[in-house]
Amino acid sequence: MTLLNSRGINRLKESLDQALLGSKRVSEPTYMKDIVGEIKQWDERDIVFARTDLFQYFGTESDEFKAYYGRHPELLKYDTMVNKLPDLGSKGGIDVPMYLAQFSIMDKISTDSFVDGRPASSKVEILPGRASEKVKGLASVLGAELVGIGPLRQEWVYSHSARSQGNKEGFQPRGTPNDLSQHTNVIALGFGMNYNLIQSAPDFPVLVATAKGYASGAWVSIQLAKYIRMMGYSARAHHFHNYRVMVVPVAVDCGLGELSRVGYLLTKKFGLALRLAAVTTNMPLVHDKPIDIGVQSFCAACIICAEECPIGAITSGDKVDSNGVMKWKLNEQKCYRYWRAVGTDCGICMTVCPWSKPPNWLHRSVTALAAIKGPHQSLLTQAEKLFYGKHKSAPRPEYIDPYKS
C-alpha cells in the first residue's frame, strides 16, 4: 500500500513547486488593494481591434462606422491613420500562410455554434471538487499548460459585443448587449509561447508564435465548453475573435498570475509569454485561490519593459487610476500603431521580461528570488541588464525565409 495516492502526490508536487518559486496563494487578488472606485464594464466596441473591424469589415460609409465615430469623434483621426498602415503579417513574404492558416481556422471556430450551445437535457450530478478535478484534467490533456478556476465577476464581462466580422452569420451582431449573469464560474486557460520564436521580436516569427497560442486556446476552450454542456451545464468558450470576457483579469482571479507593468498577465511559469482563453459556466466548481508571486513589488522596481519599448507605450512611472483600479497604464494607441508599422504584434516587452525565460534550474532559481519581496528585486533587474544587455532581434529560423523589402 502506497503512502500517497496520485491525488496526494499531485498536491505535494504543487506545494513543492510553489515553495521553489516563492509564490503563495492569497485570499484575494493582488489588485484588490488598488481598487479606488467603481469598476465599470468595458464596451468591447471601444477596443482598438474592434475599431479596426469597422474599417476592415463595415467600411467608412456604413451605418455602424458613422454611428460609432459620431459618438467618439476623438478616435477617428488616429483610427484612420493606423488603418492605412500595413496589415499584420505584411513582412512575412511567402511564409505569411504560417500565420494566416492558424487564424483562418480560428475564424471558422469562432462562431456562436462552436463557442456556445444548449446543455444536455439530463444533468450529471457531481460534487464541485470532483467536477473541478475532471475539468482541470481534461483541459490539461487537451493542451492547456495553465488551468485555474475562479468566480466570474460581472465587471470583467464586456457590456456589448463587437467582434462580429462585419455582422457575419453565426456571430452576435456588433453592439448586442452581453448577458452572462447565469454563469457564476470561469475556467482560465494559459498557453505558453515558443521561446525561440519570440526571441525574434518584433520580426515575423513572433506572429507565428502568437497565432499558435491563440489557436491552441481556441481548440481547447471549445472542446472543454462542449464537454461541460454534455454534462448538462451551461458553458461558453471565450477565445480569439469571440470573447465575452476580459481574459487577463479573469486569469488573475483564477490564480494564474498577476497584473504586470505592461498590463498583461505575468505568470511564474511563462512570464508574459503566453496567450489566454477561458470558459464560463454554471457548473458548480471549487475556486482556486489567487496567487501572489511578488509581481507588484518586482514591476515597481523593474522598468526593463518600459526602457526596451521602441515606441514608449509602457510607462516607467507609477500606477494611475484606470476605471477604478490603480494600475500601470499601457498606451494602447502607441502600442498598436507600432504593431501596424512593423507588421507584427511586436512582442519585445514579453521577450525582455526577466520572468520570460526558459525553465532551466538557473532561471527557476532567479524566479524564486524575484518572487520574494525586498530590495534585492532591484538588484536582480540590474543583473538581468548586465547578463542579457539590450534586446536584439534573433535571426529567423531556417524554415522561415529572410525578409525582402
* pTM score of the predicted model: 0.92
Pairing status of strand 274-281 against strand 185-192: antiparallel
C-alpha angle 60-63-67 in degrees, rounded to nearest 5:
90
> According to the model, what pLDDT value does residue 146 have?
99
| DSSP states of 239-286 | BTTB-SB-HHHHHHHTTS-EE-TTSSEEBTTTBT-EEEEEEEE-S--P
Looking at every residue in the chain, the average pLDDT score rounds to 93
CA distances in angstroms from 114 to 168, 177, 239, listed in the order given = 14, 20, 11
Q: Give pLDDT tens digits for 349-405.
A: 999 999 998 877 776 767 776 777 777 777 777 777 877 889 999 999 999 999 987
> According to the model, what pLDDT value does residue 6 have?
56
> According to the model, what pLDDT value does residue 374 have?
73
- pLDDT above 60 for 221: yes
> According to the model, what pLDDT value does residue 4 have?
45
Q: Give pLDDT tens digits for 115-163.
A: 999 999 999 999 999 999 999 999 999 999 999 999 999 999 999 999 9
Place of cell 520564436: 197
| Mean pLDDT value of segment 284-303 | 96
> According to the model, what pLDDT value does residue 51 have?
98
Contact at 8 Å (CB) between 327 and 37?
Answer: no
Contact at 8 Å (CB) between 352 and 389?
Answer: no
